A and B are shown apart, each in its own frame.
Chain A
Amino acid sequence: MEIKFTEENLKKLERSKSHYPTNDAALMDALWLAQYQFGWLSADVMKYVGSLLEIPYEHVLGVAEFYTMYNKKPVGKHHLQVCTNVSCMLCGGYDVVDYISNKLDIGLGETTPDGKFTLIEAECLGSCGTAPMMQINDYYEENLTKDKIDAILDKLAKTE
């Protein structure tokens, strides 16, 4: 696959660059765009992003590695990020992890063989008042119960 931003993403990147006095500052936005388009940040993707902004690959890599939300390896289509920090832990965050882990038969950091789900443990997601909760890709699922988790996962399993 050729690594190249879509026209739309190139436009978005230009807009982002116009917000800052330096190209470097647009790097985080550029990495987000890349992650949305390519799914994860491979070395080739990072090199491409670096070339667009005239930033050395080593710098791009350093930034990508610093921030946990940039995926440095492929993840499943639905990235289940369950909060287990203090408020969620008190409300059953670890039970949610165990329940999903058993249901999908994967451990933390693992992906189902069909590539649909990856399960990870997350730090506080700022949703402590609606614990326990998880983030799935860009969205939050809050006040989780077993029934609710079943419904969410069943629905996601059916989507292409």
Chain B
Amino acid sequence: MSDFEPIILRNIPDFHNIEVYMKNGGYGAFKKALKMTPEAIIEEVKSSGLRGRGGACFPTGMKWSFMPQKTDKPKYLCANGDESEPASFKDREIFEKNPHQFIEGTLIACHAMGIKTAYVYIRGEYYPWIVMLQKAIDDAYSKGLIGKNIMGSGFSTDIFIHRGAGAYICGEETALLNSIEGKRGMPRFKPPFPANFGLWGCPTTINNIETLANIPPIIEKGGEWFSKIGEPKHAGTLLYGLSGHINKPGIYELPSGTLLTDLIYKYGGGVKDNKAIKMIIPGGSSMPPLTADEIEGLRMDNEHLKTVNSYIGTGGIVVMNEDTDIVKVIKRITKFYYHESCGQCTPCREGCGWMLKILDRIDKGMGRNEDIELLRDVANNIEGNTICAFGDAAAWPVKWAIKKFMPDFEKKVKESVNLPVANKVHALRLAVQE
């Protein structure tokens, strides 16, 4: 299937099993790291060019260097496994296929930042995967790889799972902190930043699951080796997720910068029923969508996606065929944001509701001529005007779908404006009944 040797989703049977993992060199990087100074580990991660895989693509080594080395307070690591962005299902694959590499990366991160407690935040729905990860953690404890004075090194750390309970917003890093503290998952104002004032007011680093799973190979083979994989400005592999109208959906680990056409046709087996493509979401529902014209020659990494006004996000790619009703899709996505807004900021709380209302009436054939402009206005008023990046995430799909698929919106509005009055009354009745 792939001629590329994956570094996370390794092709080794039963790799999730600790014995198999260790027989193949597992926890070797951690042992090596224990003999390195924290500074040397952070330098290695910096030189690797690794960027966060949670969506924002922040350089991981730099993030780690923000943690104060000397402090009287306890320090914390939060591994972000909330994975609730629609079309994202990669971290779950790591819990299932290679949990120990993630645990090992977590241990190395803790050592590098002088952290004694790590929490793995996992969305509540992922119960079966929580059980899998807990088993892996228990096995690592019983081998003396987690806990007190690990392998006589004097370094101690614990890893605990914190189960969420259904709230997309808890993936936002400061909402996640509140959720671990047992509160409602409301994002916090920044600054102060978590590196100085995170969990219980203590220095905290938040990293995505896939980010941490990349750490062991970096320590084992060196940052330079890693920096040569894929697109230089976004080094390493990505766990691309393919879903929607595609023959072979699933997670594909490939070098960053893989051609979108290769992902769809070579790995994904092409579009279902051989249809043409209408729209692509490149990295989770929040990311500005692409038109069919933008696909050819497009490399899938953050730098290249910026050239078509989008981002890699979580790497969750949704393929939509020529028959797709764009307004319906954007309406469904907006319904999600409306449902998930935490409600703290007026532009986000009210704006999502408005956008949904307008999209709903356009979709139901009751749109007015001025609705598209109004929709764009509302989206623009949300973007950049909120406490957390959720506002942008909600606004982008709407704003960019209008920009890139205007004829689809116009067609629906035109049809409805021309509808005979009797039909309109009928449609209105139906809408009210719903």
- Which A positions have Cβ atoms within 8 angstroms of B? 19-22, 24-29, 31-32, 62-63, 66-70, 84-87, 89-91, 123-131, 135, 138-140
Contacts and interface: CB of A to CB of B under 8 A. Distances in A.
Contacts of B84: 123-124, 126
A123 B181 CA distance: 25
10 contacts: A68-B166, A86-B87, A86-B244, A86-B281, A86-B285, A124-B87, A126-B123, A126-B126, A129-B241, A129-B243
Given A67-B165, A125-B125, A87 B244 contact: yes
Contact of B125 (A21, A89, A126): A126
Contacts of B429: none
Nearest to B333: A86
B243 A85 contact: no
Contacts of A90: 243-245, 318, 320, 324, 329
Contact of B165 (A70, A84, A135): A70
Interface string B50-79: 000000000000000000000000100000
A67 B163 contact: no
Nearest to A35: B165
A138 B126 CA distance: 8
Contacts of B92: 126
Question: Which of B84, B158, B182, B242 is most buried by chain A, counting CB atoms within 10 A of its CB?
Answer: B182
B206 interface: no
Nearest to B330: A86
A107 B148 CA distance: 53
Contacts of A126: 83-84, 88-89, 91-92, 123, 125-126
A84 B332 contact: yes
Given A62-B184, A85-B332, A19 B243 contact: no
Given A127-B89, A129-B250, A63 B241 contact: no
Interface residues of B, number: 54
A31 B124 CA distance: 12
A90 B326 CA distance: 11
Contacts of B193: none
A66 B167 contact: yes
Contacts of A22: 181-182, 200
B286 to A, nearest CB: 11
Contacts of A135: 125
Contact of A138 (B128, B183, B200): B128
B230 interface: no
B265 interface: no
B188 to A, nearest CB: 15
A123 B336 contact: yes
Interface string B287-326: 0000000000000000000000000000010101000100
A81 to B, nearest CB: 8
A22 B199 CA distance: 11
A50 to B, nearest CB: 12
Contacts of A63: 182-184
A22 to B, nearest CB: 7
B367 to A, nearest CB: 21
B251 interface: yes
Interface in B131-180: 158, 160, 162-168, 179-180
Contact of B181 (A24, A67, A70, A87): A24
